[in-house]
């Protein structure tokens, strides 16, 4: 029988700079190996520069080549850029056990970012037709998810203080002309590690967990 008390706690794992491909492989292995009693996990980290293309993404949204690799992944969505200064949050959650639909997961993650930004005096919002979080029409957080065996992986990226030039080589999330922004661009002096704990709390609350516990 599933230990409900244990599965109501979100296990938090924080990393430094991690290679995208290795992290993606680790998420898939975790998802394939988990069982009904495996605690859900939230992974917080940064990636070295990389472009990732969603499962059905159109490579024509890569406008020019750069030194950063381009990887086709199994998440939803189009193309995006990851790099230093961007907070990555991967949500490895048993959606069936949480009785959480994909729309509720997306909405919860968007609201977690919106409420986090509110703490910094930034008014942000989501768009029903274009997942992510926006400030005055500029995208500050992107979402891309995959569900397999009833469990989610991948997650969201929040621009804290990255070099936004990385987005110049693409149509961000497949939207030509879409502008991006960051906390730094909005005048907030913060580092990725400053956002980790408050974002973890917001995600925990929005996805209806009772608490956080440090992972191994």
Q: Which residues are catalytic?
A: 173
Distance CA 135, CA 152 (A): 27
Whether 210 has a binding-site annotation, put simply, is no
Whether 77 has a binding-site annotation, put simply, is yes
Whether 43 has a binding-site annotation, put simply, is no
Whether 121 has a binding-site annotation, put simply, is no
Whether 26 has a binding-site annotation, put simply, is no
Whether 85 has a binding-site annotation, put simply, is no
Contacts of 160 (CB under 8 A, 6+ apart): 85, 86, 87, 182, 183, 184, 190, 191, 192, 194, 195
**CB-CB contact of 116 with 202 (8 Å):** yes
Whether 21 has a binding-site annotation, put simply, is no
3-state helix, strand, coil in the chain (%, to 5): 30, 35, 35
- Decide: helix, strand or coil at residue 177: coil
C-alpha distances in Å from residue 40, one per residue of 8, 45, 93, 141: 8, 17, 5, 22
Whether 157 has a binding-site annotation, put simply, is yes
Q: Which residues are annotated as a binding site?
A: 75-82, 142-144, 155-157
Q: Which residues are annotated as a binding site for substrate?
A: 75-82, 142-144, 155-157
């Amino acid at each position: 029988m599933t230990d409900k008390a244990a599965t109501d706690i979100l296990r938090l794992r924080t990393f430094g700079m991690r290679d995208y491909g290795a992290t993606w492989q680790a998420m898939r292995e975790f998802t394939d190996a988990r069982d009904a009693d495996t605690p859900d996990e939230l992974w917080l980290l940064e990636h070295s520069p990389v472009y990732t293309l969603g499962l059905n993404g159109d490579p024509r949204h890569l406008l020019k080549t750069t030194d950063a690799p381009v990887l086709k992944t199994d998440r939803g969505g189009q193309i995006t850029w990851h790099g230093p200064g961007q907070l990555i949050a991967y949500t490895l959650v048993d959606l069936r056990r949480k009785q959480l639909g994909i729309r509720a997961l997306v909405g919860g993650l968007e609201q977690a970012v919106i409420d986090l930004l509110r703490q910094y005096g930034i008014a942000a919002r989501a768009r029903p037709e274009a997942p992510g979080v926006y400030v005055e029409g500029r995208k500050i957080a992107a979402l891309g998810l995959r569900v397999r065996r009833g469990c989610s992986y991948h997650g969201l990226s929040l621009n804290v203080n990255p070099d936004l030039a990385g987005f110049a080589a693409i149509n961000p999330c497949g939207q030509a002309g879409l502008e991006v922004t960051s906390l730094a661009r909005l005048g907030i002096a913060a580092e990725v590690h400053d956002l980790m704990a408050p974002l973890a709390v917001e995600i925990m609350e929005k996805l209806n967990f009772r608490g956080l516990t440090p992972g191994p």
